[in-house]
Amino acid sequence: MTSKTPLRRRTLGRLAALSALALLAAPALAQDNWPNRPVRLIVPFPAGGSTDIVARAIAQHLGGVFGQQFVVDNRGGAGGNIGTDAIAKAAPDGYTIGLSTSGPLANNKSLYQNMPYDSDKDLAPVALVGEIPLVIASNPATKVSNLREFVALARGATPPVTIGHPGNGTIGHLAIEGLKARAGIGAQVVPYKGDTALMTDLIGGQVMALSAPVSTFIANIQSGRLTGLAVTSRARFPGLPQVPTALEQGIDLEATVWFAVVGPAGLPAAVVQRLNQEINKYTSSAEGRARLSQFGLVEVNAPPQTLGALMRSEAAKWKPLVEAAKISLQ
């Protein structure tokens, strides 16, 4: 018995070491084989909208690349918070990801009193998809041709100029508050329920100007029914190249709606990297660009770290304006 004991101990030790190595290797092997079953892609907005349609295009591309279905799951409500919370609370195994936007990923933390998730701690940034700039447009009867002239008009206007937006807490609303603060003007801010009612009243002269994502308004600006005063992206918008940016006109205002793929915190780094590469490849392709441009989206390719930094910086940028204007959503 005594002579066999060291041998037995060495054998057991080797088996224990091999078992430990097998356990360590298991996650790596699982990631190498990912995905080996369908992946759920949560969209925190209803079916049929731009976020949903873009998500379905990305899901189709990823399904073709990885040989597994990427199934779109619409979870609308609470300004995107319900669906984004479902992403945050999913298992970080690579089989639940989501396509969300700048509201639930950054701005909503200042707008909603009780957020069900912390976007900084509970989400893993995967890939930026694209951005839609805002446009500030006026009725031609206002007789201004650019944002600088509108600001000059607003400074001396009695009663104040009227500017509409698509709804309280939307990026269009936040941009108006930013314009008022940075250009030092007063204005009567008029909320609407969506882009269509806002556009109808602007064309009809019930308000003098609007601030909203550019997508809905391109055709009427191109036809001259509305005057594009500025876009609020860093560069000019390809669909309206004649409309200058606010920055070009000396007004420090940058505001866009951006779309991004995220997952639950703890998503394996290998999965994040593979998704990032394939999404960037799709959005920079001719097919991807054409699909995104249908909704006024300009593609943005960036590593996950850039998306994470954007989520933090955008939240910090809008928080003081939200507090100063006392904007609150339930």
Nearest to 145 by CA among 47, 270, 229, 59: 229
CATH topology of domain 133-249: D-Maltodextrin-Binding Protein; domain 2 (3.40.190)
Under a CB-based contact definition with an 8 Å cutoff, are residues 138 and 226 in contact? yes
Cα separation, 202 vs 124, in Å, equals 40
pLDDT (0 to 100) of residue 163: 98
Q: Write down the mean pLDDT value for the chain.
A: 91
Residue with tokens 């030092």: 184
Cα separation, 135 vs 181, in Å, equals 18
Q: Do domains 38-131+257-325 and 133-249 have the same CATH topology?
A: yes
Under a CB-based contact definition with an 8 Å cutoff, are residues 191 and 173 in contact? yes
Under-50 pLDDT residues of the chain: 1-13, 15-30
Cα separation, 233 vs 121, in Å, equals 28
Distance, C-alpha 287 to centroid of its chain: 21
Strands of 289-328, DSSP E? 298-299
pLDDT (0 to 100) of residue 156: 83
Enumerate the domain spans of the chain.
Answer: 38-131+257-325, 133-249
pLDDT (0 to 100) of residue 31: 53
The answer to whether domain 38-131+257-325 has CATH 3.30.70.580 is no
Please, where are the H alpha helices in 228-303? 269-283, 286-293
Under a CB-based contact definition with an 8 Å cutoff, are residues 135 and 214 in contact? yes
pLDDT digits (tens, 9 = 90+) for 98-154: 999 999 999 999 999 899 999 999 999 999 999 999 999 999 999 999 999 999 999
What predicted TM-score, i.e. pTM, was given to this entire model? 0.87
Q: Half-sphere exposure of 60 toward its Cβ, with a 13 Å CA cutoff?
A: 10
Q: From residue 216, how far is each of 33, 76, 93, 233 by CA, in Å?
A: 42, 21, 38, 16
